[in-house]
């Protein structure tokens, strides 16, 4: 592995090239993305990243740890397992995830009907919230995806979100991440996902995340 890093550099002083040496390997940025909203266990990451194999995940986590982007924490005795969390610098990679995601949303080849993790869909709402359209809209929104719970807040045109139990929310969605994606991005009806709370507010909320126009491949 040490050898790897020596041989696969880009030999380029440009910051972009260095960035790719840090998080350019396959899966690396997606692993980091899954840690953006809090620490995760090895098996959580495997479940959230369909297709990653255990050995590749181990290697990516080790590399990200060596580079100072991820920290491994041992849980106290009863659990006695590890969790992985992003360091402060690792968290600062969020704009990369966002900019890349927003750019790729223009792709004519993008198929939004695929699996998506809870963290992904939550981050995508931060990315795609349309500041102008959301201006003046204010709400606390709960999300329940199985055991994973989030509370978001739309305010001043910005969407913020953190892991928390939905209490005192204006409305709360209950379902799967792909169901929510279908409602927000695919125009599926609100009642295709479990929902309770203020339906008027919710109906408005789901329109605040417009997809950008597709790029024409003719360029």
Partner DNA sequence: CCGTATCCAATAAGATACTG
Partner DNA sequence: CAGTATCTTATTGGATACGG
Binding-site ranges for a second copy (CB under 8 A): 8-20, 22, 24, 26, 29-30, 33, 49-51, 67-69, 71, 87-90, 92-93, 95-97, 99-117, 120-121, 123-124, 127, 178, 181, 215-219
80 backbone dihedrals φ, ψ, rounded to 5°: 50, 30
CB of 43 to a second copy, least distance (A): 18
CB of 203 to DNA, least distance (A): 37
| Cα distance between residue 172 and residue 183, in whole Å | 13
The answer to whether 172 and 195 are in contact (CB under 8 A) is yes
Q: Which residues share a beta bridge with 148?
A: 145
Residue 207's SS3 state is coil
Q: What share of the chain is helix, strand, coil (3-state, %, to 5)?
A: 40, 20, 40
The answer to whether 101 and 107 are in contact (CB under 8 A) is no
Q: Which is nearer to DNA, 53 or 207 (CB)?
A: 53
Which residues are CB-neighbours of 186 under 8 A, at least 6 positions away? 112, 113
Angle between helices 118-128 and 94-104 (to 10 degrees): 80
Residue 164 near which of a second copy, DNA, none (CB within 5-8 Å, type-dependent): none
Residue 81 near which of DNA, a second copy, none (CB within 5-8 Å, type-dependent): DNA
Which positions touch DNA (CB under 7 A)?
A: 1, 3-5, 7-8, 25-27, 41-44, 51-56, 58-59, 61, 81-83
Residue 124 near which of DNA, a second copy, none (CB within 5-8 Å, type-dependent): a second copy
By DSSP bridging, strand 139-145 and strand 171-174 are parallel
CB of 201 to a second copy, least distance (A): 26
CB of 196 to a second copy, least distance (A): 25
The answer to whether 141 and 172 are in contact (CB under 8 A) is yes
Residue 95 near which of DNA, a second copy, none (CB within 5-8 Å, type-dependent): a second copy
Q: Which is nearer to a second copy, 49 or 134 (CB)?
A: 49
CB of 122 to DNA, least distance (A): 21
CB of 97 to DNA, least distance (A): 18
> Ramachandran region of residue 166, left (φ > 0), alpha (ψ -120 to 50) or beta?
beta
Q: Which is nearer to a second copy, 115 or 189 (CB)?
A: 115
């Amino acid at each position: 592995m040490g050898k790897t890093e020596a041989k696969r550099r880009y030999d380029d002083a440009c910051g972009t090239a260095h960035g790719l040496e840090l998080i350019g390997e396959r899966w690396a940025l997606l692993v980091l993305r899954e840690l953006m909203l809090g620490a995760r266990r090895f098996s959580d990451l495997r479940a959230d990243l369909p297709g990653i194999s255990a050995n590749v995940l181990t290697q990516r986590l080790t590399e990200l740890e060596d580079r100072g982007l991820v920290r491994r924490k041992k849980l106290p005795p009863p659990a006695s397992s590890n969790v992985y969390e992003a360091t402060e610098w690792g968290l600062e990679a969020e704009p990369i995830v966002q900019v890349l995601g927003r750019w790729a949303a223009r792709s004519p080849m993008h198929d939004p009907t695929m699996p998506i993790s809870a963290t992904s869909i939550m981050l995508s709402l931060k990315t795609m919230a349309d500041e102008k359209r959301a201006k003046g809209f204010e709400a606390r929104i709960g999300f329940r995806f199985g055991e994973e719970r989030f509370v978001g807040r739309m305010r001043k045109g910005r969407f913020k979100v953190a892991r928390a139990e939905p209490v005192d929310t204006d409305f709360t969605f209950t379902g799967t991440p792909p169901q929510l994606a279908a409602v927000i991005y695919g125009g599926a009806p609100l009642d295709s996902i479990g929902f309770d709370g203020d339906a008027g507010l919710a109906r408005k909320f789901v329109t605040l995340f417009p997809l950008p126009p597709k790029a024409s491949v003719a360029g």
